Amino acid sequence: MKTRPDDLGDDRLRTGLRAYGIEAASLAYAPVGFGDHHWTATGTDGRRWFLTLADLDHKSHCGPDPDAALAGLRAAMSTARALRGLGLLVAPSATPDGETALRLSARYALSVFPHTDGTPGGFADRLTSADRRLVLDALARLHTAAPPPGTPVHHPGLSDRPRLDAALAATATPWTGGPHAERARALTVAHLPDLHRALDRLDRTAATLTGPTVVTHGEPHPGNLLRHPDHVLLVDWDTVALATPERDLWLLAPTPDDLARYTAATGHPVDPGALAHYRLRWALEDVDAYLHWFRSPHADDTDSRDSWAAFSGTLAELPSLLD
């Protein structure tokens, strides 16, 4: 997020860091990513850290309410920590009692990661063929790893289908969340036929996903990579879950040669129908998240303007996903 939250100060973060055994000498807000807030920190011992503050009001993939989202986030972070021996991820640290996501308020939970060198990417970056092979190789190792106890289980439908249904059903009355609410309602109305078709399609294809499940990252796009010359590290593991491998693979826009490489490494033949399902699901998850944003209280700031651009772009792309 580009704008730091105004309802949680540095003093609360410093207290949270002490629970991890870290006394912060410095804290700096890092305006990166989307959804979570981030800081960098340096301890009094000189060690560097990367902080992620999860907004539990906007974690429907972890749980439908803040308490459930916290439990889901803890399960995801603990799964990532258990996988750290694979050498393909930046794993969260833990408090002395084993906690990987520390609640700082009713709304926010803190996870702490050791600073890790590498070249970070952006969501819209295009992977080179060499980078794509490195990611596929990392995913092959992940997908053939034994699932740690307590790994979350992914549902191939939407994370919060009732919330999206409620938003689509409420388009006949004004929305009052903030400066983008009414324009979001108008654009939603213009795309209602496509949205209903997409939801029907998703329901049908979800019922066909019967392949084996593996540990998936959930969002292995370029923005969640740290690149090195001979390998990549995956970050941002709050979406880790047991699912069919295509949940990860579709994001790479793999070529037939890529898929053959993956199948040779894992023994799993890739299902084109499952790739299409997860491509459509991603778009609808975004629509749901942005509608929740615009129907809730929000300001006209960089984050809401970025959200508007992404929301309108996703709706414009939707018909092509239904051809």
* pLDDT tens digits for range 29-45: 998 877 799 999 999 99
Q: Which CATH superfamily is domain 1-116 in?
A: Phosphorylase Kinase; domain 1 (3.30.200.20)
Q: What is the mean pLDDT of residues 130-154?
A: 96
| Rounded Cα–Cα distance for residues 266 and 260 (Å) | 10
Q: In what order do the strands lie in the sheet with 48-55?
A: 24-30, 37-43, 48-55, 108-114, 102-103
Sign of CA dihedral 257, 261, 262, 264: positive
184-197 pLDDT, tens digit each: 999 999 999 999 99
How far apart are the C-alpha atoms of 178 and 296, rounded to whole Å?
Answer: 7
The residue-averaged pLDDT of 131-143 equals 95
* This prediction's pTM: 0.92
> Do residues 111 and 94 lie in contact, with contact meaning Cβ atoms separated by under 8 Å?
no
Long-range pairs, 200-209, Cβ under 8 A, ≥24: 201/280, 201/322, 202/157, 202/158, 202/277, 202/280, 202/281, 202/284, 203/157, 205/273, 205/276, 205/277, 205/280, 206/156, 206/157, 206/277, 208/273, 208/274, 208/277, 209/156, 209/244, 209/274, 209/277
Q: Which residues pair with 53 in a beta bridge?
A: 37, 110
Mean predicted lDDT score pLDDT of the chain? 94
Backbone φ and ψ of 198, nearest 5°: -65, -40
- Tell me the C-alpha distance between 133 and 277, whole Å: 23
Q: Where are the alpha helices (DSSP H) in 30-86?
A: 66-82
**% of the chain with per-residue pLDDT over 90:** 85
The rounded percent of the chain whose pLDDT value lies above 70 is: 100
Q: What tokens does 287 get?
A: 């629509």
Domain ranges of the chain: 1-116, 119-323
**Could you give the CA distance from residue 189 to residue 168 in angstroms, rounded to a whole number?**
8
Identical fold between 1-116 and 119-323: no
CATH tag, 119-323: 3.90.1200.10
